[in-house]
Amino acid sequence: MANMQMNKTPMPEQDPNVRNRNFEEVALGYTLEQAQNEAQRCLNCKNKPCVSGCPVGIPIPEFVGKVAEGDLAGAYQLLSDANALPAISGRVCPQETQCEGKCVRGIKGEPVSIGRIERFVADWAAENGLANVATAPKNGHKVAVIGSGPAGLTCAGELARMGYEVSVFEAFHTPGGVLSYGIPEFRLPKAIVKREVANLEKMGVDIELNMVIGKVLTIPELFERGYEAVFIGSGAGLPMFMKIPGESLIGVYSANEYLTRINLMKAYKEGAETPILHNKKVAVVGGGNVAMDAARCAKRLGADVHIVYRRSEAELPARAEEVHHAKEEGIIFDLLTNPVSIEGDETGHVQSITCVKMELGEPDESGRRRPVVIEGSEFKMEVDAVIMALGTKANQMSYGGTPGLEQTRKGCVAADENGCTSCPNIFAGGDAATGAATVILAMGAGKHAAKSIDQYIKSKQ
Amino acid sequence: MKKYEIAKKKVLTSEITQISVYAPLVAAKAKAGQFIILRVDEEGERIPLTISSAENGLVTVIFQKIGGTTLALDELQEGDCLHDFVGPLGVPTHVEDLGRVAVLGGGLGCAIALPVARALYEAGNQVDLIGGFKTKDIVILEEEMGKACTDLHICTDDGTYGYHGFVTGKLEELIQSGVKFDHVFAIGPLLMMKFACKLTEKYNIPTTVSMNPIMIDGTGMCGCCRLTVDGEVKFACVDGPDFDGHKVDFDEVIARNNTYKEQEAKAKEKHLCRLGGGAMNG
């Protein structure tokens, strides 16, 4: 008989007024008792709606059932066979719109907290030295993966498991892509990313850092070097700005820059070589996960932080938990508000941001109600930094100019849901193919592409 | 040789050092005008340096000891390895036979002007290379520059060597003496490039500048190196570093490059203290 408790078993967290001054992980994870209690809420439905909501197809009721029984090793085996990076997805997936969004328990009460159970199992395995690194015997075929973010790492892991020799080319000095430079330590500790990457290396994946494909080697040159297929998982790089006056003032950052300075270059640490400005009052423009991350980092560096978002709370694209955490930590949400200019002092430093108030009109092409400016609502807010978290657009550095490789209207690699492109030996997935999206969608794309690559290489024989 | 090993190190002046780093893949692809990003150690900052030359698996860069990172870099000796070395980044300088061109190098900028001048010279241009320095003692690369152009003009601010004055003064003198330049390339401190562009605008000479804003990734990801060119936001790392000098908003770049001035000064001080401490103890 399932545990009929209506709500999720709470997960211990650092107190908001303590954690908003440190970079340690916010959510502390379940104990075994808590994980089992939560797992026992699963009804083990026959048609498994949760699995249909999972981009990587984890056998959710089965692994949750193992946790309920207390067979954690069995749970880890099932989980890690389907998902190469469970400790990561357990922390950063938008479960409310995926597996948990489909959970029958969510109809009356809260869904089973699948994400928290997933995280518990992955962390338990790591603490007990378990790693699912078994691979098929080496098959002698070489595949190159461009980018070591969630798409690339997942694709590499899947291929290595099938016996392929995989090289991952990363432009930065650290692997992980957005997992390393973007998502902050307090949401995804970098030790976990390192651990997952180390597991891939144990599976024989070769990770080559400081390799900017498109510059040091092109995709055709990778083929010349004996790679039979190439997976493009280079992400959606170029940060967007609003094209309003004042965006080049000192103190205006793209969220990518701000987060990279903090996460990758550890600018928040005393004595770090890479500097960051310690601001007093910061406006973060945007409403996605990246905006929440930037806002919460700025808070931790001692600033008063406002999120400025042009639509209403219902349209915030960020994960519900991130919005909740941000509010708890004292981030102020200026909703239905849109910047029109940024003003600086005589030395070129940001002094204020001028915004207008918005109201929601008719739905636009995205289906969301279009924000419309309220006449005469202009007001000025004094700030000393503005962080633009407006999303990113295609960065074609790795694949631009590759003969025969078609692009989408937005300049991404044109790829189908199996990761196939207009070139039979080139595959793509994640943000490089879709534009900015989520970690788990990138992981799903990496997984599907690995399957397509396997089919392609086998079909040649 | 080991990955990213410093194969050769040459002290050019008390402030400027040249190193050649073993990075064969980068060396095979490097072209004039491109840059690399390096890190000295595991905790180090990423700094961009323009490629001075590249051959036989070695990439040569020249740097000035201005901050904590460049001071730490200068402590490394031949045989030591850099932690990271990535490139070649940026779009190479567009090189074709333009006719008669002037290449202006200011101080350390001469290290970057040198490969540009060489490439233009080899492409058939008549090249006037104008290299400016504060004083005679810090003139670098004179011999190499001499071989990379038709005429070399060394200038010093204090008149201790060559033409007495700034590179822009020398350029204007040549123009006024009747030389018709088809194109000018200006590479050096922002102020020098700004004034070179003001001058060439007056004489209607197309001018290319090599921008060096603050950078992190060098691949278009962070947007830190953005500048305004002809009213549009451009990223120096992927759209540049070369731009049409008459369209660059120099004052904005100058202000942005001062963002971390205070912190950089502190880092340098801290580094010098550490060195001092080491010497006292040792």
Contact criterion met (CB < 8 Å) for B221 and A275:
no
Q: Provide the pLDDT for residue A96.
A: 87
Asked whether the predicted pLDDT for residue B256 surpasses 90, the reply is no
Asked whether the predicted pLDDT for residue B259 surpasses 80, the reply is no
Mutation for testing the A interface, residue in B221, B226, B235, B238 having most A CBs under 10 Å: B221
With cut-offs at 50, 70 and 90, classify the pLDDT of residue B280: very low
With cut-offs at 50, 70 and 90, classify the pLDDT of residue B258: confident
Q: How far is A256 from chain B (nearest CA, A)?
A: 5
Q: Which domains does chain B have, with CATH numbers?
A: 6-89 (2.40.30.10), 91-209 (3.40.50.80), 211-257 (no CATH)
Select from B219, B228, B260 the Cβ nearest to the Cβ of A397: B219
Q: Is the dihedral of CA A9, A14, A15, A16 positive or negative?
A: negative
Residues A192, A125 contacting (CB under 8 angstroms): no
Asked whether the predicted pLDDT for residue B275 surpasses 70, the reply is no
Task: For A261-290, give the DSSP string.
Answer: IIIIS-TTSTT-SS-----SEEEEE--SHH
What residues have CB less than 8 Å from A215, skipping those under 6 apart? Answer: A397, B29, B87, B88, B89
Count of other CB atoms within 10 angstroms of residue A110: 16
Mutation for testing the A interface, residue in B25, B42, B222 having most A CBs under 10 Å: B222
| Backbone region of residue A205 per phi and psi (left: phi > 0; alpha: psi in -120 to 50; beta: other values) | beta
Q: Provide the pLDDT for residue A156.
A: 97
Residues A429, A419 contacting (CB under 8 angstroms): yes
Q: How far apart are CA B121 and CA B106, in angstroms?
A: 19
Q: How far apart are CA A446 and CA A432, in angstroms?
A: 11
At residue A412, φ and ψ (nearest 5 deg) are -80, 170
Task: For A9-53, give the DSSP string.
Answer: PP--B--HHHHTT--S-SB----HHHHHHHHTT----SS-HHHHT
Q: Provide the pLDDT for residue B43.
A: 83
Residues B237, B219 contacting (CB under 8 angstroms): yes
What's the whole-number mean pLDDT along residues A257-267? 86
With cut-offs at 50, 70 and 90, classify the pLDDT of residue A84: confident
Q: What's the half-sphere exposure (Cβ side, CA atoms, 13 Å) at A229? A: 31
Residue A358 forms beta bridges with which residues? A373
pLDDT in tens, A138-163: 999 999 999 999 999 999 999 999 99
pLDDT in tens, A161-197: 999 999 999 999 999 999 999 999 999 999 999 999 9
With cut-offs at 50, 70 and 90, classify the pLDDT of residue B281: very low
Residue with more model confidence, B256 or B121 = B121
Over chain B, what is the mean pLDDT? 90
Residue with more model confidence, A338 or B217 = A338
Q: Provide the pLDDT for residue B277.
A: 37
Q: Which residues of chain A make contact with B39, given a CB cutoff of 8 A? A: 173
What residues have CB less than 8 Å from A413, skipping those under 6 apart? Answer: A232, A399, A405, A406, A407, A421, A426, A428, A432, A433
Helices B190-202 & B250-257 angle (0-180, nearest 10): 180
Helices A32-39 & A60-69 angle (0-180, nearest 10): 130
Q: Provide the pLDDT for residue B261.
A: 75
pLDDT > 90 in chain A, percent? 83
Contact criterion met (CB < 8 Å) for B256 and A250:
yes
Asked whether the predicted pLDDT for residue B271 surpasses 70, the reply is no
Asked whether the predicted pLDDT for residue B279 surpasses 50, the reply is no
Q: How far apart are CA B241 and CA B73, in angstroms?
A: 23
Asked whether the predicted pLDDT for residue B262 surpasses 80, the reply is no
Task: For B99-111, give the DSSP string.
Answer: SEEEEEEETTHHH
What's the whole-number mean pLDDT along residues A375-394? 94
From the DSSP assignment, how many helices (H) and strands (E) are in chain B? 9, 15
Q: Provide the pLDDT for residue B272.
A: 63
Q: How far apart are CA B180 and CA B224, in angstroms?
A: 38
Over chain A, what is the mean pLDDT? 93
The mean-pLDDT minimum among A214-218, A262-266, B234-238, B274-278 falls in B274-278
Select from A243, A247, A397 the Cβ nearest to the Cβ of B238: A397
Q: Which residues of chain A make contact with B255, given a CB cutoff of 8 A? A: 249-250, 347-348
Q: Provide the pLDDT for residue B274.
A: 52
Q: What is the pTM of this model?
A: 0.91
Q: Provide the pLDDT for residue A278.
A: 82
pLDDT in tens, A206-228: 999 999 999 999 999 999 999 99
Q: Provide the pLDDT for residue A265.
A: 81
B interface with A, Cβ–Cβ below 8 Å: 25-26, 29, 39, 43-46, 68-69, 83-89, 216-224, 226-228, 233, 235, 238, 249, 252, 255-256, 258-260, 263-264, 267
pLDDT in tens, A52-64: 999 999 999 999 9
A163 class by beta-carbon count within 10 Å (0-12 exposed, 13-18 middle, 19+ buried): middle
Q: Which residues of chain A make contact with B85, given a CB cutoff of 8 A? A: 210
Q: Which residues of chain A make contact with B249, given a CB cutoff of 8 A? A: 248
Structure token digits, residue A422:
């207009």
Structure token digits, residue B99:
């006719």
Asked whether the predicted pLDDT for residue B276 surpasses 80, the reply is no
Contact criterion met (CB < 8 Å) for B233 and A171:
no
Residues B155, B123 contacting (CB under 8 angstroms): no
Contact criterion met (CB < 8 Å) for A243 and B252:
no
A45 class by beta-carbon count within 10 Å (0-12 exposed, 13-18 middle, 19+ buried): middle
Q: How far apart are CA A73 and CA B18, in angstroms?
A: 56
Q: Provide the pLDDT for residue B282.
A: 28
Q: How many CB contacts within 8 angstroms connect chain A with chain B?
A: 110
Q: How far apart are CA A156 and CA A148, in angstroms?
A: 9
